[in-house]
A = this chain, B = another copy of it.
Amino acid sequence: MKLYLAGPEVFLPDAVAIGKLKCDLCAKHGFVGLYPLDNKIDAPHDQLSKAIFEANVDMIERADAIVANLTPYRGISADVGTAYEVGHAFAAKKKVFGYSNVRTTFVERVRRYAGPLKQGDDGRLYGTDGLAAEDFDRFDNLMLAEALRASGLDVVTPDTEPADIARDMTAFERLLIAIAAVR
């Protein structure tokens, strides 16, 4: 079973080493990890963006499932590139699995970002920025949360928030074990 390893760790300076570690953990649990930076891309800078997109899409299509790191990235939600990939994989009939190294619900993070929240006339909770916050007890926007649930496993989080949310592998490995149990 080939797992496409989506997530914002590609933006870390040690992204290659982290990909190696994730692929080693996949092998330990009987999976083959496909990591975006394993694509060897040789393109001039002005064509690099397109080449990376095409290589990532090809890798998703070759995978059986996606394992997405949905830890909030530079804000209240998952990385949008990862969110794109979850949607792409779901529509391509792949299983979509995900984990987050942050344990808060989406509405809690909106409260910190734009709180206090006040109930509007329509019954929804609104932030001080005038925008409603989804209040469904989910870890992020419902499109991500429900795509995971429809694949059979809810988001996995660690029992306590790790010191290094960008690199900790506790939730990732726990998710691999859960996937192995339902495969």
Contact = CB atoms under 8 A, between A and B. Distances in A.
Interface of A: 8, 11-13, 15, 45, 48-50, 52-54, 56, 73-81, 83-92, 110, 113-114, 120-122, 126, 129-134, 136, 138, 140-147, 149-150, 166
B88 A53 contact: no
Quick one: copies of this chain in the complex?
A: 2
Contact of A144 (B80, B149, B166): B80
Contacts of A11: 131-134
Contact of A142 (B53, B114, B145): B53
A47 to B, nearest CB: 10
19 contacts: A11-B131, A11-B132, A12-B130, A13-B120, A13-B121, A45-B136, A49-B138, A50-B150, A53-B146, A56-B143, A75-B76, A80-B141, A80-B143, A81-B144, A83-B84, A83-B87, A84-B143, A88-B91, A90-B91
